[in-house]
Structure 1
Amino acid sequence: MDAQVYSKYPVKWQERFAFLDAHGAPGTSTYKEAFKALPFMQRIKIGSSILAFLFGPIYFFILGLWRKALVGLALTVASFVIAFILYAVLGPENRSADFISRMLGLAVTLIYAGTANYAYYLKEVKGQDSWNFFEGLRM
């Protein structure tokens, strides 16, 4: 896509959109090769979103990704329910329950961070706004 199309976006989004246009979706071999060639800080900027990590569904709503925000919110609630059940069954003093619940929370926030940029790219550049929260997650 032409760089002028991106001019209405901040520079960080222009760089992300240009990279995704040139190398395709996360998870493809061309994306992976180009991503590995980037300097560390550039990989952080293109591959994840710190704001999505910190604010999760709120950030998705702000970007206009309300469908993915609702699915992500449901995933967040489900992880809280699982953690609550673990604490109820194993007891709050159990270290395993604590560890598992913390890892569930971390996993959900990392999924927010890892999918936000590509989800916004799909919405703004490709015109796609699906309910698939995991779309673009690099595995």
Structure 2
Amino acid sequence: MTEATARDYSHLRLRWQERFAFYDAHGAPSSREYQAELRLLPFWKRLYWNYNFLVFFFGPIYFFILGLWKKALVLLAVAIALGVVSFALDASAGSFLGRLFTFLVAGTYATTANYAYYLKEAKGIQSWNPLEGMFRTK
């Protein structure tokens, strides 16, 4: 048993314990091992590991509750900037652009929350980068 699999997550809810054990076993969402293991799972289980529906609807509030306030502030700033761009372009593009930006930001919150919380709780990493570990650097 390695150090990564020996961590104790008993203070967390069962749902978070399962997610954290998966991250411990297979690495970050950007790793090849994680992606390969994820492909073996049924669709709904893949969605469970990659997406957090509560965060989709309550984005920054949920991030603040989890203690991910730095990442919440960055994503909130991005949302405000996209809102300004959407408002400025609204006359020419209609309301489609605003809805697109809204879903883009909400989706970003929902797909980054699980791993961001893992980084905070398991690794003690509390950075400003909301996309940390989500994409390969090479």
Q: What's the TM-score, normalizing by structure 2? A: 0.89
Question: Which one of the candidate residues 10, 15, 20 is aligned to 1:17?
Answer: 20
User: Is contact 1:114–1:138 with CA below 8 Å preserved after alignment?
Assistant: no
Alignment of 1:1-139 (within 5 A): 1-2=4-5, 5-87=8-90, 89-90=91-92, 96-137=93-134
User: Is contact 2:63–2:69 with CA below 8 Å preserved after alignment?
Assistant: yes
Counterpart CA distance in 2 for 1:104 and 1:7 is 38
One-letter identity of the residue aligned with 2:30: G
Shift in Å, 1:3: 5.7
User: Is contact 2:59–2:106 with CA below 8 Å preserved after alignment?
Assistant: yes
> Tell me, which stretches of 5 or more residues in structure 2 are unaligned?
none
Shift in Å, 1:48: 1.1
Q: 1:30 to 1:2 in 2, by over 3 A?
A: closer
One-letter identity of the residue aligned with 1:29: R
Counterpart CA distance in 2 for 1:84 and 1:111 is 20
SS at match of 1:132: coil
The count of aligned residue pairs is: 133
User: Is contact 1:68–1:132 with CA below 8 Å preserved after alignment?
Assistant: yes
User: Is contact 1:3–1:18 with CA below 8 Å preserved after alignment?
Assistant: no
Q: For residue 93 of structure 1, what is the aligned residue in structure 2? A: none
> Tell me, which stretches of 5 or more residues in structure 1 are unaligned?
91-95
SS at match of 2:71: helix
Q: 1:20 to 1:109 in 2, by over 3 A?
A: same
